[in-house]
Amino acid sequence: MRGPHNLLRLIRTGATLERAGAMGLIMDAMDAPPLVRATMRFLAWPFQWLGYRGDPSMPPALRALTALGPAYIKFGQVFSTRPDIVGEDLANELRILQDKLPPFPVSVAKQSVERELGRPVDEIFMEFSEPVAAASIAQVHKARLNNTGEEVAVKVLRPKIEKAFRKDIDAFYFAAHMIEFLSPASRRLRPTEVIAHFEGVVLGELDLRLESSSASEFKANTAGDPGFELPDIKWDLSSRRVMTMGWAMGVPLGDNAALDAAGHDRVVLGERVLQLFLNHALRDGYFHGDMHQGNLKVAPNGDIIAYDFGIMGHIDEYTRKVYAEILYGFIRRDYQRVAEVHFEAGYVPADRDVTEFARALRAVGEPIFGMDASKISMGGLLSYLFEVTERFGMETRTELILLQRTMVVVEGVARSLNPQINIWQVARPVVEDYIRKNVGPRAALRDLSRTVAVLGRYGPRLPQIVEAALVRQSQTAKPPERPSRLLYLAWAATGFAAGAIAVLLAVELL
């Protein structure tokens, strides 16, 4: 599946962009260097006859991306939230990709619902509308339940969507392998692992049972968050290709005119959406991974309502602490500490100079402070940051890909609501609160108590572990000069447990 035949798919990608008239538009919007611009046009122009024609009634970028398929639409959705990178006009054009793609017939959706739920649609719903939103993977219908009269949203996967994504992902894998082969230096960015991560995210999004579970867990985590709501999942009316949940009543977060007409404060909303994301990522380690305007509404009371939980991100507690310390260091402009955290976490090879790395980070961070946020070029900032990572041999952290991508999207959403927003000032209270609660002596004691609890479950077995290690060592034909690694681990566990218990007892007595 990932053989050279995918080369045609990649050639067709450039050819489609050229044929639709989108290549030059995208290069202009992203302010591509002349050499890059000329190279792309030179490679794509001779093959434009191979490109997909698309819908001529659509603007060029939309025409090309929708013709190329769902995976390309996903990239367009990300850029739709970044007018600072692609320009206001192109960002507004791409926003259509969030939930206004051509739908499939309602009759096909009803057939899918009946097949998945095992009952006729009329038996479940007294009303079932035409599609109210259509995205790259599924579309949504507004319906009313027969038994309660409650308004609900019914999400139905597109027909044969799995096959369409499989084709794109195979081409992406081929491209990643070719990049690694032709440019060994690019291997530090782990392009193949990046595509594998993307594949995992997409496959999870193609099973609506997993999305229902994610929504339920997310709702439990955020139940106490002020100004934030999530719809209820109707488990008895959900399956692999169909998901039913409560209807979200409100104004789309991407419609600034409607928000202003409804009397909502866009400055407050911009700050809230950014702080909510940081809280979910740092506090819970579980966050909405697709927080663009098409998945957010504002309720009449001003609460932000989130839906579409196909992409959710998870980061472990250690990574959260590293991420928070890096953000906190940038906020405090303590670039030396930011550099040290990168080295401590193993993000930068140990043989590099930490002071020089801190100096490079200062060049990335300083332009942000004391400058009008609307004048900061995120495109230029990301470009320079890439140069820094290349110079210091940093590898792509696959566990942070979704976190970084979502941070970019959320910042774009916040900036669309308030172009003057300063992300560092808004983020500061959330990050400081997390640092205060999770980094320091109190947090260390809490972590120690958790470790003791885990060791306590194995406490009765520790003597057996030590004895088994001694027996194993004595049975070897030629005893090693030093104790085995297993014996070291057993002794260490026993000693650590005893020491930890002693520390906790001392704390209790003080």
The residues, ordered by sequence, that sit 6+ positions from 91 with a Cβ below 8 Å of its Cβ are 79, 80, 81, 82, 83, 416
Which of 168, 290, 308, 334 is flagged as catalytic? 290
Active site (annotated) includes residue 31: no
Stretch 28-56: mean pLDDT:
70
Q: In the predicted model, is pLDDT for residue 50 greater than 60?
A: yes
Tell which wins on pLDDT, 426 or 300. 300
Q: Which of 133-137, 144-148, 422-426, 462-466 has the lowest mean pLDDT?
A: 462-466
Tell which wins on pLDDT, 487 or 139. 139
Structure tokens, 93? 């054009």
Between CA 448 and CA 148 the distance in angstroms is 51
**CB crowding 193-212: b at 16 or more within 10 Å, else e:** eebbbbbebbeebbbbebbb
Contact between 215 and 309 (Cβ < 8 Å) = yes
pLDDT band of 503, cuts 50, 70, 90: very low
Helix/strand/coil for 405: helix
Q: In the predicted model, is pLDDT for residue 154 greater than 60?
A: yes
pLDDT digits (tens, 9 = 90+) for 406-434: 787 888 888 889 988 887 788 889 988 88
Contact between 406 and 289 (Cβ < 8 Å) = yes
Contact between 242 and 125 (Cβ < 8 Å) = no
Between CA 170 and CA 173 the distance in angstroms is 5
Laid out side by side, the sheet with 296-298 consists of: 228-229, 304-306, 296-298, 251-252
pLDDT of residue 30: 59
pLDDT band of 150, cuts 50, 70, 90: very high
Average pLDDT, the chain: 78
pLDDT band of 493, cuts 50, 70, 90: very low
Q: Give first-to-last CA distance, the chain, whole Å.
A: 66
Q: What secondary structure does DSSP assign to 470-492, as a single string? A: HHHHHTSSS--SS--HHHHHHHH
The residues, ordered by sequence, that sit 6+ positions from 346 with a Cβ below 8 Å of its Cβ are none
Tell which wins on pLDDT, 155 or 289. 155
Q: What distance lies between CA 266 and its chain's CA centroid?
A: 24
How crowded is residue 153: how many other Cβ atoms within 10 Å of its Cβ? 21
pLDDT digits (tens, 9 = 90+) for 192-229: 876 777 777 777 778 899 999 999 999 999 999 999 99
pLDDT of residue 226: 93
Between CA 34 and CA 40 the distance in angstroms is 10
pLDDT of residue 324: 85
Stretch 291-313: mean pLDDT:
90
Tell which wins on pLDDT, 244 or 83. 244
Between CA 314 and CA 218 the distance in angstroms is 11
Helix 317-332 vs helix 423-438: angle between axes, to the nearest 10 degrees?
Answer: 130
Structure tokens, 493? 């566990």
Q: In the predicted model, is pLDDT for residue 450 greater than 70?
A: no
Helix/strand/coil for 127: strand
pLDDT band of 54, cuts 50, 70, 90: confident
pLDDT of residue 336: 92
Contact between 180 and 210 (Cβ < 8 Å) = no
How crowded is residue 416: how many other Cβ atoms within 10 Å of its Cβ? 26
Q: Rounded to the nearest 5°, which phi and psi values hold at 393? A: 70, 25
pLDDT of residue 189: 59
Q: Rounded to the nearest 5°, which phi and psi values hold at 306? A: -110, 145
pTM for the full model?
0.69
pLDDT band of 502, cuts 50, 70, 90: very low
Between CA 501 and CA 203 the distance in angstroms is 45
How crowded is residue 425: how many other Cβ atoms within 10 Å of its Cβ? 12
Q: Rounded to the nearest 5°, which phi and psi values hold at 213? A: -65, -40
pLDDT digits (tens, 9 = 90+) for 341-362: 888 888 888 888 999 989 988 8
Q: In the predicted model, is pLDDT for residue 500 greater than 50?
A: no
Q: In the predicted model, is pLDDT for residue 495 greater than 50?
A: no
Give ∠ CA 166-169-172 in degrees, rounded to 5. Answer: 155
Between CA 405 and CA 292 the distance in angstroms is 11
pLDDT of residue 504: 41
Q: Which of 54-58, 110-114, 130-134, 473-477 has the lowest mean pLDDT?
A: 473-477
